[in-house]
A and B are shown apart, each in its own frame.
Chain A
Amino acid sequence: MSLLEIDGLTIRYGGITALNGISIAVTEGETVLLVGANGAGKSSTINAIIGLVPAAGGRIVFDGKDLATVPCERRARLGIGFAPEGRRVFPRLSVTDNVLSGAFGLGRAHQKQALDWLCSVFPLLIERAKQPAGQLSGGQQQMVAIARAMCSFPRLLLLDEPFLGLAPVWIQQISAAIAQMKQRGTTVLMTEQMARPALKLATRGYVMRGGEVRRSGTVAEIREIALADEYL
């Protein structure tokens, strides 16, 4: 059974249809990539899963539970971690506070365990612990955003364009960190416009365009399509 099953999801912003009945399934342990140009509907999909935008039609089922009646602020506790497009760290909160805000109410023992592990993945979290996250560089902020999303040890990690605007050195470090999340057994659903670095992490993918899923397939198949469509 799928950990996440999206069936005929439609999203509208006013009169604009951003997603037109897409269906996506993610099995436990997979890393699935949504690839597509700007405006394809990748963020709309991710934001609908976490509940930031309402679905105009279709179903989102997580771990056998229909999310239609679950408000955004309760979805994280079902086991969904979310690192939004553009990182959106809490700018005035310290790096440590940013990370721990992803584990509200889970108790000191969990918080300590999670923070220790995340600090081993991202040494930055120790070096910059007390610094306001708004002062960090883009790559550093992305690390904080991923650590924040992982702090509750979610079963599904949503990463919306984690490499956007980052230099290769940061892409490499963040790829390595995502690989560690996968090793922990975390299922990952990520988006990218530029498929190359993300394809190294993914097991499967979907190509999106104009609010629809055009193709889906293995990494090799997606690579072919992406090459042809110049996503690489």
Chain B
Amino acid sequence: MHQFLEAAIIGVGLGAQYALLALGFTLIFGILGVVNFAHGGFYMLGGYVAYTCVAGLGLAYPLAVVVAMLATAALGWLFELLLIEPLIDDHLATLMLSLGLYLIISTVVLAIFGPISMEFAFPVTGSFHAGSVYLPRENLIVLAVCLVAIACLWLVLFRTDLGRALRALADDRAVGMAQGLRPRLLFPLAFALATGLAGLTGALVTPILSLAPGVGEPVLATSFLTVILGGLGSLGGAALAAFIVGLVEAYTSVYFGGSIGALVLFVMVLLLLVFRPTGLLGRDVRGA
């Protein structure tokens, strides 16, 4: 029983991380129509910025996390404004640009930090006991921060003018512009929001998992998988799918061990695409 509960908490923790990544990924796709191949790069960069702040500048870890989030948001903002925005309607061009940015981020990280993984440890250790259930404190902290971030994102998207404008542009860009919504102002902000969340996740999670060049690739793969599972462009679907993916990974690794989780997930997505091609909460977006 305690194993079952532990796996549930671990799964929810993973789910919250995946949700932050997938929500950003689907935000960029749903609003801008851009597939951001650099998403994993922003995650990795968040980790390296936080590491540099702690190890190089001696900042406290929580402050380093904030700096990492702001830095990745700023880079996302600049990237969208200067490179994506002029080519926003050219899907192939934006795809190549984001892939190019990913390669640049990877190469710069490799050049500065080398190929080995960094000694970057979460500052809080130990674990929390409740009866026979045993949970690492670091996972609980990361889970709490991720949930707060998801709640903040929800508030921005559903309780502010900015969020409303972004959702309107996602539904019908031409009509949104005709109502006075300005993509040139709003799209860089949406991009920054998404990449800032990826950077935040990287800063929180890489000290627990690992920090090395290449940690971004599985992140991109998981984001893709989550977003397809949830339904392209659906925020609720991405969040739901993220927690499903997290729980599946946690339970398969606890009960079957190893990499069977990835297999289970791919089979799930495959079946879903056969029986419900729009994803869990996706729908025909042509509207009424």
Contacts and interface: CB of A to CB of B under 8 A. Distances in A.
B183 interface: yes
Given A74-B182, A101-B181, A135-B288, A93 B168 contact: yes
Interface of B (DSSP majority class)? helix
A93 B164 contact: yes
B180 A100 contact: no
A74 B175 CA distance: 13
Interface string B162-186: 0011011011101111111111100
Contact of A88 (B170, B172, B177, B181): B172
A67 B162 CA distance: 26
Contacts of A77: 180
A31 interface: no
Interface string A74-112: 111100001010001111110001101110110000000
B207 to A, nearest CB: 37
B56 interface: no
A134 B287 contact: yes
A50 B180 CA distance: 10
A205 interface: no
Nearest to B170: A92
Contact of A91 (B171, B182, B184): B171
Nearest to A105: B161
A152 B180 contact: yes
A28 to B, nearest CB: 21
Contacts of A101: 164-165, 168, 176, 179, 181
B168 A90 contact: yes
Contacts of B161: 100, 104-105
A227 interface: no
Contact of B179 (A76, A91, A135, A141): A76
B179 A82 contact: yes
A104 B287 contact: no
Given A73-B180, A136-B288, 12 more contacts: A50-B178, A51-B178, A72-B177, A76-B179, A82-B178, A84-B175, A84-B178, A93-B171, A97-B167, A102-B180, A104-B180, A135-B288
22 contacts: A52-B177, A72-B174, A73-B177, A82-B175, A82-B178, A88-B172, A90-B167, A90-B171, A92-B287, A93-B168, A93-B171, A97-B167, A100-B161, A100-B164, A101-B176, A102-B180, A104-B164, A105-B161, A135-B288, A148-B179, A149-B179, A152-B180
Interface of A: 50-52, 72-77, 82, 84, 88-93, 97-98, 100-102, 104-105, 134-136, 141, 148-149, 152
